Amino acid sequence: MPTDIDKRTWLAWLVKVRIFILTVLLGIELAIVQFSPVAFPVRLFVDAILLAYTISVFHLLLLHFWNDPKLQAALQIGTDLLLVALLIYVTGGVDSSLNFLYPLVIIVASILLSRRWAYVTAALAFVLYATILELCFYRIVPSYMESNPDPRRLQAIIFVNLFGYIAVAYLAGLLSAKLRLADTRLRFTRGALESLQAVHENIIRSTSNGLITTGLDGRITLVNPSAEKLLERTEQELLGEPVAPLFQDPLPQSGTAIAHGEVRFVARNDFRKTFRILASELNVPDRGVVGQVYTLDDLTQIRRLEREVRMQDRLAAVGRLSAAIAHEVRNPLTSIAGSASLLAEMPDLNDDHRRLLQIVTRESERLNGIITDFLAYSRNKKFNFATVNLIPGLEDTLTLLEHRMSAQKTGIKIERRYATNEVVVIADGDRMKQVFWNFCENAVRAMKKGGTLTVSVEEHGGDWQLSFADTGPGMSPQMVEKIFEPFQSQFEGGTGLGLAIVYQIVQAHEGKVFVRSKQDHGCTFVLRLRKAGQAAQLAAAASFQLDEHARPEPQRERLIGEGAHA
């Protein structure tokens, strides 16, 4: 049987069909009256049609106020039987041509109700039809019949209609049962298909890998939430867009086998990401290849860690080398500087000789400074950790820098953007001042023609983030990659160890330091340090874990350089 929702739809459809049939009958009968006389009163027929219209409107209103489709179906079928009986009576009884309406009511009953009710409807139709004919034949009610059949012929007509009604009820019930069975199977299949589609959709939307599908024209047709997160764009923004311009590198082209490759992607905040992409053809049965499927994995952190490991190896090698060379070079360098000083005191030297000795002395001092930096870089540093507020130390650094810029008239302005006046961390305050000074010194050197140094302080999750942004010429991606490695200075007279030492200091504080830069768009150094409360909780958790296992665990190194493209 149809569901309640289907019954309501069927009942609304039945009202509309009833009104349509009544209108057609009214039009036909009125047309017949215009061309030939009829035995029944036309006025009475029109009144019966108007009554049927009124009952149809009543049923239509009842659908909106009475939420019992089964009883409404029985009520409509019952009123239809009575209306058909009335129409057959006013159009001549046995001479009426409207007795075909009873089979229609029986068919509707077999659809809306059970098969048993179809037979009940057929029996009621037979009773009503026979009653009308008998009442008109014996003149119990006014008769509009033109013919006067004898009793036997009348009984034959009645029983022929009975057979017809029963046959219609049987066939309609059989057909309705098959339709219900087919409908049940269709609902089951549809439900299974919807469940399968839901499972597939949930799989696509729940997978941690980004998934993008395109048509043969290369335009995006589907994006899962993971891909939205990786690309930092919504599905609405991506649908219909070509996929190739999203990435800086060509996408792998799939053929008979799955193709793979790595591509770079620039996010809206100018961070660069590295994705591994697997490309395969989107095949649909009976249609062939209809597009491409791209699966995205974020390799940014992995590639960053690889750079970190390579940098650590280089730094360790340079540290060992610098410690060995510095000790070997310093002794003869001291002798050279001392000898040059003695020679400079001789009275018989001319101006050229004295100038040459000054050059030797000056270069010896510069070389000694480089060796001192080497030793400072290579030696194990001692840190005095304490809970400190970084803002006073940062202000001291910026104040000294402002006085120097003012005296030298460099045209550099310092802009402060502090979201808070307290940046409490567990750190060595003096070492942090060294970090701040290196950042500021690099910014000043980069802005030879003046500019603005913007120092920002803000929260970033459980960390404090300090940013030093200049308006200088910026750096190339190749330079950004190696900025924290030794001997990478791009300034005249620099040893290239300043930022390498900064890196060591930040690493000792278990912080993060990275740089953002574009050619001709300035440079921003970013420092992140844990808040004092977060650092204390992590230390307590580590201590508890040590006590719990009664043996030291290998210390897990925190990622220091978020990378130039983070």
Cα 547 to chain centroid, rounded: 43
Q: Look at residue 175 and tell me if it is in a domain.
A: yes
Q: Are residues 88 and 124 in the same domain?
A: yes
Residue 82 has pLDDT above 70, yes or no: yes
Q: Look at residue 541 and tell me if it is in a domain.
A: yes
Hey, what amino acid is at 290?
V
Question: Pick the residue with more confidence: 345 or 87?
Answer: 87
Q: Are residues 368 and 402 in the same domain?
A: no
User: Treating both helix axes as pointing N-terminal to C-terminal, what angle do 429-446 and 498-508 enclose, rounded to 10 degrees?
Assistant: 150
> Which of the listed residues 359, 378, 397 is the one where a domain comes to its end?
378
Instruction: Return phi, psi of residue 243, to 5°.
Output: -80, -30
> Which of the listed residues 235, 267, 298 is the one where a domain comes to its end?
298
pLDDT digits (tens, 9 = 90+) for 307-323: 777 776 766 776 666 66
pLDDT digits (tens, 9 = 90+) for 479-533: 887 778 766 666 554 556 778 888 888 888 888 888 888 777 889 999 999 988 7
Say how many C-beta atoms besides its own lie within 10 A of residue 161's C-beta.
19
Q: Look at residue 195 and tell me if it is in a domain.
A: no
Q: Are residues 178 and 84 in the same domain?
A: yes
Return the pLDDT at 488.
63
Residues 39 and 136: their CA atoms lie apart, in Å, by 14
Residues 255 and 244: their CA atoms lie apart, in Å, by 17
Q: Look at residue 557 and tell me if it is in a domain.
A: no
Residue 49, Cβ density class (10 Å: 0-12 exposed, 13-18 middle, ≥19 buried): buried
> Which of the listed residues 360, 378, 396 is the one where a domain comes to its end?
378
**Which percentage of the chain shows pLDDT scores above 70?**
84
Q: Look at residue 555 and tell me if it is in a domain.
A: no
Residue 558 has pLDDT above 60, yes or no: no
Q: Look at residue 249 and tell me if it is in a domain.
A: yes
Q: Are residues 352 and 438 in the same domain?
A: no
Query: What range does the domain containing 435 cover?
Result: 386-549
Number of domains comprising the chain:
4
Q: Look at residue 539 and tell me if it is in a domain.
A: yes
Residues 184 and 464: their CA atoms lie apart, in Å, by 63
Return the pLDDT at 542.
45
Residues 526 and 465: their CA atoms lie apart, in Å, by 7
Return the pLDDT at 552.
39
Q: Are residues 262 and 364 in the same domain?
A: no
Q: Are residues 326 and 435 in the same domain?
A: no
Q: Are residues 95 and 166 in the same domain?
A: yes
Q: Are residues 90 and 222 in the same domain?
A: no
Return the pLDDT at 557.
35
CATH at residue 421: 3.30.565.10
Q: Are residues 279 and 404 in the same domain?
A: no
Q: Which two tokens stand for residue 388?
A: 């400190």
